[in-house]
Amino acid sequence: MRKTGKYLALTVALLLILGASAEAAVCAWGSTGSTVTAIQKKLKQWGYYSGTVDGVFGQSTYNAVVAFQKKNGLKADGVVGAATAAAMGVTLSSSSSGSSVAASGGYTSSETELLARIIHGEARGEPYLGKVAVAAVVLNRVRNSGFPNTVAGVIYQSGAFDAVADGQFYLTPDADAWRAARDALNGWDPTYGALYYFNPQTATNPWIWSRDVRLQIGKHWFAV
């Protein structure tokens, strides 16, 4: 049986009272482990999830979480944070996020702003997961020896991003862009290490089609 709106409001309020430690943890695309298993079991019980209960947060689990969030009046971003966990009756902990969230280190507020700008310029109108994915690609390049080793170096590299060339990078980022930048800096990589992305409907460079495409999020294909 799905939870009623009244019960949902009470459970969300209770979690907020419990403190910030639970709010700090999230379970999202790329997470693995017992918390993901618990989420999948709940979603399967309520008819949102028809996949295998395997403890791996992938596309099917993401789709089910979004459906649950929409049905229950939550922000439909596919992330099981404090409010969504409360609605599901699932307990999150700092270790429950698995590979999707890790400690960020060494990044400045200026770099966060650069990421927010490239997200807004490149992925405006994409699903939230796609916004995080764009930032993750930037950070994956920073860590790869084949690219500049700073956020600014990657973003401003000649020909790397259309948004820099056409000026959309200089638009004011919205709240989702800032949040996606912080999520990526905290280690969330829904692309599993992708170094490139492109829209197959608009891509004009033949070289990009030679890359190994790993997944699609929104209109973008992500590749290595």
**Where, residue-wise, is CATH 1.10.101.10 in the chain?**
5-100
Could you give phi then psi for residue 133, rounded to 5 degrees?
-60, -40
% pLDDT > 70, the chain: 83
Looking at the structure, give the CATH architecture of the domain made up of residues 5-100: Orthogonal Bundle (1.10)
Which residue spans within the chain are E strands per DSSP? 196-198, 213-217, 220-223
Name which of 151, 127, 129 is nearest 139 in CA terms: 151
Q: Does position 195 have pLDDT exceeding 70, yes or no?
A: yes
Predicted confidence (pLDDT) per residue in 122-134, tens digit: 999 999 999 999 9
pLDDT band with cut points at 50, 70 and 90 for residue 106 = low
**Where, residue-wise, is CATH 1.10.10.2520 in the chain?**
109-223
Question: What is the model's pLDDT at position 31?
Answer: 81
Q: How many helices (H) and strands (E) does the chain have?
A: 10, 3
Which residue would you say has higher pLDDT here, 174 or 99?
174
Neighbours of 100 (CB within 10 A): 23
Which residue spans within 132-212 are E strands per DSSP? 196-198
Q: Which structure tokens are listed for 213?
A: 């495409």
pTM of the model: 0.65
Looking at the structure, give the CATH architecture of the domain made up of residues 109-223: Orthogonal Bundle (1.10)
Q: If you average pLDDT over residues 35-49, what whole number do you get?
A: 95
